[in-house]
Amino acid sequence: MTQPNIIIFFSDDHGQWALPCYGNTELRTPNLDRLAARGTVFENAFTPIPVCSPARASFFTGLMPSRHGVHDFISARPEFHRRNWLDGLDSLPLMLQRAGYQCGFSGKWHLGNDETPQPGFDYWYSMSGAYPVRHDGAQEISDNGEVAEKPGYLTDNITDGAIRFLKERDRDRPFFLFVAYYATHSPWEGHPDRFVEPYRNASFRDIPEASRIFGDYDVLNLEAPAMTPEAIQEARAQYYGAVTHIDAGLGRVLDEVRREGEEALCVYTSDHGLCLGHHAIWGKGNGTRPANMIEESIRIPMVVARTDGAAPHQRRTELVDHTDLHRTVAAIAAAGAEHSDGQARPGHDFSGLLAGGTSWPKRVQFGEYGPLRMARDDRFKAIVRTDGPAELYDLSAPDAESRNLAGTPEGEPQLRRLANEIHAFFAAPGSGGDKRWKDAESFQFNTMESWKL
């Protein structure tokens, strides 16, 4: 296929640890298991920022938050929700549309104006972006922007919207379909009982027991259930059920592709990770104060496979993130490397890795969230802040992120080395800039009330 059909399955808050192909021993995801067995599983896939809206913006634009300007999740307040946050930026659907693709969207946008079809998309099926999320029903947004109650389950409705696009699309054009599930986002309740019940007696042995927070963080636990053993067991069962429900939806979409006699390149990923009691945290980067960049918050699943199985099955250890996925999808779609907004992009095309290649330039993964920036290599992780002291962790140590080595004789050289990497990366064209960095702080602290879900 010169220009293959492309489907991106993009879930919400799905931690890498919560999939069998990444070692989870209790979850059941037969469709994702098959996808992983016929394609590439990236073991070191990360989000540039561990919170919803800016992570999505990084995928769609290929830019870091300090360049695309979305620095925290977008509040449902009208002054935030009604703004189109990607205005003026060349996005992936725009690039693919210019390259001849018919682009479809179904699910969660969360980048402003969910009610309005966004530039680059020929088909738009959106569910309401307002919180709190309801998994056992939703508000459906029609083509004219009207909002109405939609019966059924949110994951099923999004899957139905994706299948409708596949049925109605123009067969003479390649397609790009972005399927954006709200699950596995909180609240962890209201998921179909047929998916939740098998996990109600699970041991959840893949979630380490933790009675206290690591390091110098205060736990916010904004998304935690009532902290009784019964409530924790049910919340985890609901989360696991949500994963299996997503897997069923993915299977339905791929069945429709096969029914139509088509093939497609498929990607399964998530905006960021999640703690479900790990380190005593319930949540992601904003589950602590100050915000964190712990592994469970930033590690994401990234599984890439063709439905015809015409690619080597492999597990890759290279560092990749959403900006790299942006660049790769554009390259595979022959959409060109140049963006109409004139901004350089930091991501790298990993299509060569999908074919079994070995060349990969990235040796350090970077991230940011408001007043913090991070650099992580295959052993050490450094975090520098404008709102507190620096952190340095040896990820090879048994206690990993529970011991901050900043200020110690063994830690200071590594901290200086990675801090210099952070400075160089964010000073480079397309990665960051001092003005946007200050804007990032302003945006986060002016919207702290939106953290109270």
Please tell me the predicted confidence (pLDDT) of residue 360.
Answer: 98
Number of domains within the chain: 1
DSSP label of 444: H
In sequence order, the 6+-apart residues with CB closer than 8 A to the CB of 286 are 50, 51, 72, 73, 220, 222, 369, 451
CA 111-115-121 angle, to 5 degrees, is 70
Residue 338 has pLDDT above 60, yes or no: yes
The single residue listed with the structure tokens 């953290």 is 451
Chain segment 29-82, per-residue pLDDT in tens: 999 999 999 999 999 999 999 999 999 999 999 999 999 999 999 887 777 877
DSSP secondary structure of 12-77: SS--TTSSGGGT-SS---HHHHHHHHTSEEEEEEE-SSSSHHHHHHHHHH---HHHH---SPPPSS
Among the ranges given (289-303, 328-342, 382-396, 421-435), the one the predictor scored with the smallest mean pLDDT: 421-435
Chain segment 267-293, per-residue pLDDT in tens: 999 999 999 999 999 999 999 999 999
In this prediction, residues 326-338 reach a mean pLDDT of 90
Chain segment 190-205, per-residue pLDDT in tens: 999 999 999 999 999 9
Does some domain include residue 110? Answer: yes
Q: Is residue 145 helix, strand or coil?
A: coil
CB atoms inside a 10 Å sphere around CB 417 = 15
Q: Check which CATH number belongs to the domain holding 288 and give it.
A: 3.40.720.10
Q: Provide the domain limits for residue 205.
A: 6-363
Residue 451 has pLDDT above 50, yes or no: no
Per-chain mean pLDDT for the chain = 89
Does some domain include residue 197? Answer: yes
Does some domain include residue 418? Answer: no
Does some domain include residue 432? Answer: no
Does some domain include residue 258? Answer: yes
pTM for the full predicted model: 0.93
Does some domain include residue 33? Answer: yes
Please tell me the predicted confidence (pLDDT) of residue 400.
Answer: 85
Does some domain include residue 372? Answer: no
Please tell me the predicted confidence (pLDDT) of residue 399.
Answer: 79
Please tell me the predicted confidence (pLDDT) of residue 439.
Answer: 45
Chain segment 396-447, per-residue pLDDT in tens: 998 789 899 999 999 999 999 999 999 999 988 777 654 444 344 444 433 4
Return d(Cα 446, Cα 451) in angstroms, integer: 11
In this prediction, residues 232-237 reach a mean pLDDT of 97
In sequence order, the 6+-apart residues with CB closer than 8 A to the CB of 408 are none
Does some domain include residue 159? Answer: yes
